[in-house]
Each structure stands twice: as structure tokens, then as C-alpha cells.
Amino acid sequence: MSAVPGPTASPARVRPARVRVLSVAGTDPTGGAGIHADLKSFAAHGAYGMAVVTALVAQNTHGVRAVHVPDVAFLRAQLDAVSDDVTVDAVKIGMLGTRAVADEVAAWLARTRPPVVVLDPVMVATSGDRLLDRDAEEAVRRLVAHADLVTPNLPELGVLLGEPAARTWRAAVDQARRLARASAVTVLLKGGHLDGDASPDAVVDATTVVELDAVRVATTATHGTGCSLSAAVAALRPRRPDWVTAVREAKAWLTGAIAAGEALAVGSGRGPVDHLHHAATLGAPPFGDEAWDAVADVRAACDDLPFVRALADGTLRTDAFEAYLHQDALYLAAYSRVLARASELAPDGAAQAFWARGASRCLDVEAELHRDRLDRAGRAWGGPASAVTTGYTDHLLAVGARGSYAELTAAVLPCYWLYADIGARVLARAGDLGAHPYGDWIGTYGDPGFAAAADEARRLTDEAAREVGAATRARMLAAFVRSCEHEVAFFDQVDAAAPAPRGPAALAAAGRAAP
């Protein structure tokens, strides 16, 4: 009989199903900002949301009408009620309103020390209304020392430094860098107040500046954007490896939420964003099903390639196969870096370990198999990558550098799934691998272990797709299709019917550009 934990069992020993995130902020009865926006943002990113109210705000899409700040003793009671009972994985702090409130929150942070603290120094609403007493500004500056990430807009950044707001992006980056150094905090610099078509952001710490560009969305649905972005980052950071990764993902989500906001038709002023704009994808079929159907023609083209047919029946010329192997070895070296990047971005330990094993396999198993065969043949293949190989690796590296975790899983999936699919059919037609001239290579890609890895890669990609909106899912599909097209070109870069180019330099010169 298994023991059932009693009421005194420590909940900290149970791995929670969701990240537990607390919002400490004001209200918005129209639902677009404050704790109302924060709770929606938490839910949109799979977190369990909680809220402590600092101020009751009478506002709508046109502006603030009145603010009531309850006694700080009640604020303390709310904060203690949560932290006495619940393990808080992250805290997002928004509107504070008064010096007393800011000091009370700072004292609570010093007592409880939550692992992730995101401070959105709310001072001025998008409408222009001031949401913080002027005598409370110094208290908020002191509060920065308790935060891990601060997310000011340009006017708020100026207030934190006691300076005028920056009027250029370069000046804003300089201010953010100085705040990061002075307060030992990371700054999410938001450039939405600048003129122009771009809406740049940057993650700035004491030593680095990582800029994250985006196109400005032409819309009136901008109410609560700062609240929503900081809340999304707070929900993501406990499951992401660094601030840049969390911010990049949150920013992509917010861009979609802003674009979808006007369709909500909430209010006649500056309306809210659509925090659940990705909900349309919740009932969608698994990503893998949609993606596999989208590349039906590409898969059929693979089966018809002369290289694949000749490989299966063993009639492929040795020099053509070895030229292909050289390009594959060069590809695997770059591919291993992309899988390592997927491991960095992965949201949990199991996914991190899977992609890391894949990166290791590329170098320790598959690439070594290629090199051994070429060495046994006495081939000194030391030339460059072909145009086809370079096109494929450039595509993957670009997604790894600029895309989200979900997009990267979709981009690398074909090298698992399409290879396993082709390998199974080649294996079925190859017969006795012991007698087959390329049996060692076919066995690697057609074995059950590789098929199981392909299934796990698909599962992780399906899982990632469930947490993203329609725009990111569309980018995932585009990345998957593009990788499949590159796979076909990669198989087809050696002409199996004509004399093979001599050496990799000739192959590089003759390689066709990828689709």
C-alpha cells in the first residue's frame, strides 16, 4: 500500500505541473492592463497565476479616472498569505503607486527572496496618465536592487536614472547600460516610444547588449503592452535558460497579441492586446500531422531520386557515394551546433538532454562513420562544402540564431523524421546489409534506435507547437518545409547516373543551389 502524504507533507518536494507566478500590481476593470493582463499573460504561457493588489484603479481604454491605494497593512497581509503557503517561482511587480507600497514590497522581497523577480516600473500609462506619486520615485529606484530584470520604457528609464528620457536608440542603450552596471540588474530596454517603423528592444546587462528588432504593428490596440510583456517574461524565465531567450519568445508572442488586439473590439480608445490570440491553435491537429501532409510532394520526390534508388539497390557508384559522404560529414559538423542550440533553448531537462545527445551523436557516431569509410577508401577529402550543403546549414543556423525554440525544433525535425522515413524504405529494399556495399550507412539511418529518436523529436516538436500562437506555428511550418526541400536537394547534389565530380572542390563548384 502506498503512503498518502498528510497535510504536513512538503509541497516543495513535488515537481509542479506549472510554473507558479505572482503578480503584484494594480487593477484594470476593462481587463487590458495590471493584474488582469498579467494573469492572462501567465495563462498564455502555461503558468499558474496569482495576484496581490497594490491599487484599485478606475480606468478604461481612454484613461485613468481614479486610484485608490489600500492601507499597506492589507498589502502585507496579502503578500504573506501567498508566500506562507505557496512556493512562488517568479514574481512580476507592476504598479505600486506610493512610497509606502514600494517600501512594503521591497521588505517582502528581502524576506522571501523569490528566485525570479521582474520589475515593470510603472510610472506613466500608455494614455499619458501618471500612475506613480512623484515622491515614490526614489522608493522604486531602491526597489531595482531587489529585481533580476527591470523593464522600463524610455520615459521610465529616464526617471530611474534621474535624467531626461532618451530621444535616440543609442542614447537609450547607453542609459540602460549605466542602470545595469549601477544596480547589478538586467534591463529589458523597450524602444516603442521612438519614432519610426521599427520597434526595437534590447536585453542589456553590465557587459552585453543583445538587440531584438521587430516591425512596429500599426494598431490602436496598445493598452497594457508593458504589463503583458513583463508578465510573459516572468512566466517564461523559470523554464528558459537565459533572459534573452525568454524575452525573444515573449516579444514574438506580444507582437501577435498586438496584431490581433483590434479584433477584440474592446472599448473606443486604445484597446487591449489579445493575450490568447494563439488559442486558435489549441484545437489544431498535432503539428507533425500538419507538417507531414504539407511535404507529401517533397517526400515523393525523395523516393524518385536516382541517388536514393541506386543507394537502395546497391548500384550507386562508389565515388558518387563517397563524394556525398564528404558533404554529409561537413553538414553534420554544423548540424551538431544547431542541436546544441536547441538544447540550450529547451524548456526542461529531458528535452535538453535529448537534443544534447543528438548533437553528440552527430560528432561521435555518424560523422565518425563517414570519416572511417572515407579513410578506408584512401580518400583525402578536405575540400569545401558545396552550395547545397552551405544553403542547408545556413538555413538551420539562421533559425537557431533568430527563431524560437519551437521554430528550431521544426527546422531540425526533417533530419530525423525524413531520414528515418527514407531509411526505412531503403532498408526494406536493400536486402542483406552484410552483402550490401553501403550496408553500414543504411543500417545507421534505418535502425530502430534512429526511428525511436525521430519519434521523440516529433513529440518534442508537437509539444512546443502547443505553446505557441498562430504566427509562430506558421513560421514553424515554413521552417519544416524549407528543411525538407533542403533534404531533397542534399540527396540530389550528386548525379548518380553520370561520372561523379572528382573530389569535393569539384562537387562544391557543381553543387546546385538548394530550393
Catalytically annotated residues = 190, 222, 224-227
Q: Kindly give, in sequence order, each residue whose CB lies less than 8 Å from that of residue 207, ignoring residues fewer than 6 positions away.
A: none
Phi, psi values for residue 168, rounded to 5°: -135, 160
Q: Kindly give, in sequence order, each residue whose CB lies less than 8 Å from that of residue 296, ignoring residues fewer than 6 positions away.
A: none
| Angstrom distance (rounded) from CA 420 to CA 286 | 19
Grid look-up 544596480 returns: 183
Order of strands across the sheet that contains 48-60: 63-68, 48-60, 20-26, 90-93, 117-119, 149-150, 186-190, 201-204, 209-212
Grid look-up 501532409 returns: 293
| Angstrom distance (rounded) from CA 332 to CA 412 | 12
Q: Which three cell numbers stand for residue 411?
A: 527546422
| DSSP annotation of 65 | E
Question: What ranges in 278-404 are assigned the alpha helix state H?
Answer: 287-294, 296-303, 306-313, 318-345, 349-361, 367-376, 387-402
The SS3 assignment for 175 reads helix
Can you spell out the DSSP letters for 214-259? -BPP--S--BTHHHHHHHHHHHHGGGSSSHHHHHHHHHHHHHHHHH
Q: Is 314 left (phi over 0), alpha (psi -120 to 50) or beta?
A: left
| Angstrom distance (rounded) from CA 430 to CA 102 | 72
Q: Which three cell numbers stand for residue 433?
A: 546489409
| DSSP annotation of 467 | T
**Taking each helix axis from N to C terminus, what angle separates 439-446 and 367-376, rounded to the nearest 10 degrees?**
170
